Structure 1
Amino acid sequence: MADPALSFVIERTGDLLIQKIVFLEGVRRQVERLQKDLVRMRCFLKDADQRQDKDARIRNWVSEIRAAAYDAEDVIEIFASKVEFLTKDKGLVTKLTYYPLKIVNLYKIVWYKKSWRGDDYTWSRAATAPAILSFQRSEDKDIVGFEEITKSLVAELLKEDRNRRVVSIVSMGGAGKTTLAKKVYNHAHVRERFNCCAWVCVSSSYDHKKMLRAIIKQLNEMSNEQLEKMEEEDLEGRLHQDLQDKCYLVVLDDVWKQEAWDCLARAFPDVGTSSRLLLTSRDRDVAQHADAYSHPYELKTLGLEDSWQLFLRKALGHGDNAGCPPDLEEVGREITGRCDGLPLAITVIGGLLLAKKKLKSEWEKILNNFSTYLSRSQSGVSAILELSYADLPANLKFCFLYLGLFPEDSVISVRKLIHMWVAEGIMQKRDTENLEETAAYDDVEELASRNMVQVAEMTVDERIKSCRVHDLLREVAIRKAKDENFFQIHDTRDDEISAKSRYLAVHSLPWDKKYVGSSTPPLRSLLFFNVHDYRKNISLNFKSFKKLRILDLENVKMSYNLPEGIGEVRLLRYLGLRRTL
């Protein structure tokens, strides 16, 4: 996992040695020694990265080496930026670092200004907005085994009952509730019946005002600024008004608590228009609480044959009626059996095998590794997700863990994600023609191909526009990040920020220096989410964050001026100011 950071540090030290500048006199020997040490560290990590799950000592060594690599990179970049600042000929050190006051190049500055002012909302859409899409939800083409339950759910939604009813889908995590709901939501007969439709992911970290805004936003053209000024009662009243006299269908995906339903239910009018709410939940009690007269539909795991067909589609990349090479069938069926009929497990293990050579020895190796991870996991699906993470190349591990910083069920803008990864410096040009942005997009596609992320929205030219991470996979990312001291999520007032944190996501406010602890962490990324209801201006002492590369203040209430002291952050490469006014 430390390999991307080490590779970048080694490249940076090489750049320093190449430069013919007098400022290196007296430190060249130390830089050469550092570079040799880092190369040796990288060799050690190639072996240790696969063994750290089994040995706590190796895990601690890897963590310490990663911290040392980051420290080395910080020293090099700060030194290089100071050299450039003092050098009259600014062209001498352009390969080392950006000019301190030129945080991003001109076109990115224009892009951020547009985003900040809201001039181009459709182009630079909010990166962590709830799942607010058009009526046609992005749907997985490789759906197996849902034909009968889809027919039943569609028939239930279209029943001649003028009362508002709740139709529920319940199952364990990873069984395909959201996939099934999308299939029903996009059904032609459903689209013909309902003249007003919306979809929102509720999730375990329920935010009532956020959910109301998300639904209202899909029903009319109110601006974010207008919605954010409205209090809870006003939002409920507006939604009730928008749905009045409409035959509406609203999907409430991933509802965890009865309280979440109780809060939302007040805004859904029951006025004899045959309106429906489609609810998905892991908890049967939540579904029955929402509508005691409606029987929840239980989504069962896939049978052996359906599991096998889904596995073939994902592992071989074929369409319907895909055949399996005879020499792979026995081991393939054994792998499929270990998935216990859970579509998520089958999809992820299939994505892993799709990236492998179609050799029996390769598939047997995965099967043997699965047994190893199963002995350390609580369930088969956990073992599969852990195995799929372990199989990722080092650069994709970094990218996958970084996604864990985003809140649960976030729809993440790929454009924004690419800018962040490039700003982190882990993206290397694949060849002389392809830029770092191309490499970053390739990594998004690779994660999607491995089914480690889900495509949420596509562009007209069939490129991934936004993505999301299944909550079970996000739990893996958070657990791994904790084990490897990769990042920290601040989501309660009682959290104290670790002095070792380098990546910090703030999901809860107030956030100020008393949460940082006795010393300032060497942060590289500082991201704020879901803080638009916090009415006070946030004050940050940028002199304490001199190692910061990424600062995302989206939705943070600010004055019309840039944050005071921002010029002190000379290593900053990404500054997000969208919707900060």
Structure 2
Amino acid sequence: MKIPDPVVNVLVQDLIHQLYTESNYILEFQTHFAEMKTQLNHMQSFISDADSIKEKHKTVKTTLIDLRELTYEADDLLIDCLIRADYHTRRVSSSCHHRFSLRQIYFHYQTGKKLSGINNRIAKMRTNLSDYVTPILGRSSDEDAGNRTIRWTSQVYDQSGIVGLTEDNSRIKGWILANNEVLHRVGIVGMGGLGQTTLAQKIFNDTHVIARFEKRIWVSISQTFSELDIMKSILRQVREDDSGSDTGEMLHRIYQLLSHKSYLIVMDDVWSTANGWWDRISNGLPKTPGHSSCIIITSRNEEVMKNMGVVDARIHRPRLLDEEESWSLFCKVAFMATKGICKNLQIEGIGKEIVKKCQGLPLAIKTTGGLLYSKTSFSEWKRICDNFHEKLVTEGNSSVLASLQLSYDELPAHLKHCILCFSIYPEDHEINVEQLVRWWIGEGFVHERRSETATETAYRFLSELIGRCLVEVMRRRSYDGRVYSCKMHDMVRDLTIRIAREEAFTSFDDGGRQIPTMDSRRLGVTNEMKFHSLENNSKIRALLLMDSRLIRLKRNAGLAKIMSLRVLDLSHVKLENIRVYDFWRWISSLKRLSCLNLCDVASLIEVPDSIGKLWNLQILILAECSNLQKLPASITTLHKLIVLDLGNCPALKYLPRGISSLSNLQELYGFKPASLAHTESCHFGELKNFIDLRVLHLDINQESIIEDEELGALADLQKLRVLLINAENCEDVNILEKLNKLTPPPHLEELYFGHYHGEATPDWINPNSLPELQYLCLEYARLVDMSPLFWSSDGGNSWKVEGLCLKFLPRLQVEWSRVQGVMPSLRYLEVSHCYMLQSFPCDVVNLGSWTKIDEESEDGNLVVDTINAQKSVMNN
């Protein structure tokens, strides 16, 4: 199986992007970086061509490997130069005297020498690729065209190989047969090997479906399809001459042949709607009143479905088979000679163990059954069970991974890099999405895009991977589907491991387990790992704690010698056996570090001044450090920070004054205003300087000082979209009065307000002050009613809120009809421990929810559902 090279392509693109956006600030090396931009731009034209032939030509493959290493080296140099330039810019601005030290002169000499060497090597590689690739491509283009493999499916299916599709079949048939629209669309979407085509075949050949439609047409959409091929396929199936090459004339013939008829068209395995081919074909299909026709679309990409006009309520997502269904399907293939019956109890036991490893994926089950069909001895079955993933690839003709490979091949370059990150997580690991997103940003896989922050871009990338059925959602927010955790099917994980190993993205042993080596670039740390092999590693960029809760750090060995990290995630780690001095000495030596996550490190009491040396730091997570008492003033010098998370740190009483100098912050959690007891702390008014802030979490306590002139500070935050206010223990009348007089941000979309001791909501929580609010959460409060302004629409605005959450409000007395009256757009409600609410359409004592079903749903009725409790953002 050919493994494409996503890493080189993405690395070169990313380096070029950084050279255009960043290198102009490094005046002393501008000439070197300008030449590098030119060389890489020229090199890009050869990379894709070289990648297509690298498996057959060792020289090309070696050159691409060398280019990958060189690009990493150049990226490190660029970061080092940017950090040093930033440092000297600050020194110059803080002092009128500036002179070059011997150390700086030496750095300039060495860096210039390295950059010249890199440029020379890139130029030589470009020449080699040009001389070598062009003639090869000229000789092999015709041969490759003749050997190109096209996936093709038909409407014919094997009835004996279908298991677990009864409910799926009934549901989709119900959509089709009960619908009287002139032309409606149904979608079936899922990961490769899940059985979308099999399900479509079953429906296509169903007797009721055959009776309903006068014409049935099956179109298999290969990855190399053309509009002409599609039209010829349709014409052949309606027994019409398919000669000609004029697509317009062919489409007209199709229109005439299907006019005044009810027809069913299956568009199977659609990968893309690029170039508008579908719009042209669908617009040319007849839509005859009185004749109900249907189009069924199968795909691995949910976005493709929606682009083809399938509404969400008509998209079916086939599930994985359960244990009983998996065994039934396996038996039909593996024991075909005995009519699907296993007559050996010993083999049955090991067989069920093997089937569990397929995790309900039909293609994997059938492939494994076929692999074992001719094997009769227990020892052979045991051998395959013990080496399941390896045997499935080598003895199963790679059919499973080859199928999944198609999904990977279709990914754009930026998503290929992102999906390889999943390879470091252990099998069946539930992945914290926030950790994953922070990693992508910290290592530079994701950048800001116009008005979209890096975090927003990262979540969008994840949504694309989910929409392409390569990543499975485990937990998500009910209101808007925001994903909290996810996982990857073992078969997809096997594919990412295979590619990650081939491209030196990270290091694995033959069994697919991560191993630390001197060439490792990324590690997911587990309890079994030993770090001695990392002592000479100068390449590792990301180190994330998986299931380990205890690490050992010796001053002159293992981890302590790593200096190249961009991402360090030690969340939940125990530091009992580590000298705090050695720990922070190591961290402060990581000059390139961009993301540092120390969430829930209970023994962390104080952050030292040395953190100010991390000039490249963009993300700092110290949330839930229950014993953290103090932050150094040097934290205010980390000007690249875009995320600072100090949420749920109860022992931390204040933030240092000058925190507002972090003007690039986009997310700030745990902001604590000044108090009389801590005169060196930051003031509430400093908030107005965070002009790029999108997310803000405020902790207001009994001792907080908010001056009258500071009440409008939030109103200056034009980009703020999410505001969380925790007013725990604020019983003082003066504090309550100040909270009531705040002026909210003008474009707020989500508001979480908790632990409030007033009897009515603050006056500013009203539709006129919050005209763009979409989600409102009120929790852990003594509220009796809402403010009169909450119910008022005198200013002409009504609430645009779509999601409402009311939790632990035992005294609140509100009628459901009144809520609906002022919130006409409300479509999701979540309630818990609100004993005095009246006539609400869900449980108000325990955790209940209500969802307004879209008009596109099956019956348009409202649904009341009780769901599991989710962790509240404001809780504790």
Whether 2:95 is the aligned partner of 1:145: answer no
Amino acid at match of 2:438: H
Question: CA–CA distance in 2 between the matches of 1:91 and 1:349?
Answer: 57
Whether 2:515 is the aligned partner of 1:502: answer no
Residue 13 of structure 1: aligned partner: 19
**What's the CA shift string for 1:212-244, capped at 9, x where partnerless?**
xxxxxxxxxxxxxxxxxxxxxxxxxxxxxxxxx
Whether 2:451 is the aligned partner of 1:417: answer no
Amino acid at match of 2:219: E
The answer to whether the Cα contact below 8 Å between 2:538 and 2:563 also exists between their aligned partners in 1 is no
Question: CA–CA distance in 1 between the matches of 2:425 and 2:58?
Answer: 28
Question: CA–CA distance in 2 between the matches of 1:91 and 1:415?
Answer: 36
Question: CA–CA distance in 1 between the matches of 2:24 and 2:44?
Answer: 21
Cα RMSD (Å): 4.4
Q: Which runs of 5+ in 2 are unaligned?
A: 1-5, 95-162, 171-190, 205-212, 223-265, 270-296, 309-392, 603-876
Aligned pair in 2 of structure 1 residues 414, 146: CA closer, same or farther (>3 Å)? farther
Whether 2:561 is the aligned partner of 1:544: answer yes
Residue 41 of structure 2: aligned partner: 39
Amino acid at match of 2:16: I
**What's the CA shift string for 1:525-555, capped at 9, x where partnerless?**
11222223x5856766666333211011234
Amino acid at match of 1:484: E
Match of 2:454 among 428, 436, 461: 436
Match of 1:524 among 541, 549, 566: 541
Residue 84 of structure 1: aligned partner: 86
Deviation, structure 1 residue 410: 1.4
Question: CA–CA distance in 2 between the matches of 1:55 and 1:355?
Answer: 39
Deviation, structure 1 residue 422: 0.9
Please give the secondary structure, in 1, of the residue aligned with 2:464: helix
Deviation, structure 1 residue 397: 0.4
Q: Structure 2 matches for 1:314-353, cutoff 5 A?
A: 329-331=219-221, 350-351=300-301
Residue 395 of structure 1: aligned partner: 414
Please give the secondary structure, in 1, of the residue aligned with 2:86: helix
Please give the secondary structure, in 2, of the residue aligned with 1:504: strand
Structure number with bigger Rg: 2
The answer to whether the Cα contact below 8 Å between 1:496 and 1:516 also exists between their aligned partners in 2 is no
Aligned residues: 342
Aligned pair in 2 of structure 1 residues 504, 29: CA closer, same or farther (>3 Å)? same
Question: CA–CA distance in 1 between the matches of 2:48 and 2:93?
Answer: 36
Question: CA–CA distance in 1 between the matches of 2:216 and 2:38?
Answer: 49
Deviation, structure 1 residue 465: 2.0
**What's the CA shift string for 1:195-227, capped at 9, x where partnerless?**
xxxxxxxxxxxxxxxxxxxxxxxxxxxxxxxxx
Amino acid at match of 1:554: S
Deviation, structure 1 residue 573: 1.4
Residue 570 of structure 1: aligned partner: 591
The answer to whether the Cα contact below 8 Å between 2:25 and 2:82 also exists between their aligned partners in 1 is no
The answer to whether the Cα contact below 8 Å between 2:554 and 2:560 also exists between their aligned partners in 1 is no
Question: CA–CA distance in 2 between the matches of 1:356 and 1:547?
Answer: 43
Aligned pair in 2 of structure 1 residues 89, 145: CA closer, same or farther (>3 Å)? same
The answer to whether the Cα contact below 8 Å between 2:534 and 2:558 also exists between their aligned partners in 1 is no
The answer to whether the Cα contact below 8 Å between 1:174 and 1:472 also exists between their aligned partners in 2 is no
The answer to whether the Cα contact below 8 Å between 2:473 and 2:486 also exists between their aligned partners in 1 is yes
Please give the secondary structure, in 1, of the residue aligned with 2:593: coil
Deviation, structure 1 residue 377: 7.9
The answer to whether the Cα contact below 8 Å between 2:192 and 2:300 also exists between their aligned partners in 1 is no
Aligned pair in 2 of structure 1 residues 84, 354: CA closer, same or farther (>3 Å)? same
**What's the CA shift string for 1:353-378, capped at 9, x where partnerless?**
938987xxxxxxxxxxxxxxx99982
The answer to whether the Cα contact below 8 Å between 2:437 and 2:455 also exists between their aligned partners in 1 is yes
Question: CA–CA distance in 1 between the matches of 2:44 and 2:202?
Answer: 40
The answer to whether the Cα contact below 8 Å between 1:428 and 1:439 also exists between their aligned partners in 2 is yes
Question: CA–CA distance in 2 between the matches of 1:556 and 1:390?
Answer: 37
Aligned pair in 2 of structure 1 residues 537, 447: CA closer, same or farther (>3 Å)? same
Deviation, structure 1 residue 306: 5.4
Please give the secondary structure, in 1, of the residue aligned with 2:397: coil
Question: CA–CA distance in 2 between the matches of 1:307 and 1:573?
Answer: 51
Amino acid at match of 2:596: L
Question: CA–CA distance in 2 between the matches of 1:536 and 1:419?
Answer: 24
Please give the secondary structure, in 1, of the residue aligned with 2:475: strand
Amino acid at match of 1:393: P
Residue 491 of structure 2: aligned partner: 472
Deviation, structure 1 residue 64: 2.2
- TM-score norm. by structure 1 comes to 0.50
Q: Structure 2 matches for 1:8-407, cutoff 5 A?
A: 8-19=14-25, 21=27, 24=28, 27-52=29-54, 57-88=59-90, 145=165, 147=167, 304-305=198-199, 329-331=219-221, 350-351=300-301, 354=304, 378-407=397-426
Question: CA–CA distance in 2 between the matches of 1:495 and 1:405?
Answer: 7
Q: Percent identity?
A: 23
Please give the secondary structure, in 2, of the residue aligned with 1:329: strand
Deviation, structure 1 residue 331: 4.5
Aligned pair in 2 of structure 1 residues 37, 387: CA closer, same or farther (>3 Å)? same
Question: CA–CA distance in 1 between the matches of 2:525 and 2:216?
Answer: 51
Deviation, structure 1 residue 20: 6.9
The answer to whether the Cα contact below 8 Å between 1:3 and 1:394 also exists between their aligned partners in 2 is yes
Deviation, structure 1 residue 464: 1.9
Match of 2:465 among 447, 453, 459: 447
The answer to whether the Cα contact below 8 Å between 2:540 and 2:565 also exists between their aligned partners in 1 is yes
- TM-score norm. by structure 2 comes to 0.34
Give the structure, 1 or 2, with the largest relative contact order (CA under 8 Å, sep 6 or more): 1
Question: CA–CA distance in 2 between the matches of 1:48 and 1:327?
Answer: 40
Q: Which runs of 5+ in 1 are unaligned?
A: 93-142, 151-172, 177-300, 311-322, 337-346, 359-373
Please give the secondary structure, in 1, of the residue aligned with 2:301: helix
Question: CA–CA distance in 1 between the matches of 2:398 and 2:429?
Answer: 26
Please give the secondary structure, in 1, of the residue aligned with 2:39: helix
Question: CA–CA distance in 2 between the matches of 1:550 and 1:565?
Answer: 14
Q: In proportion to residue count, which structure has more helix?
A: 1
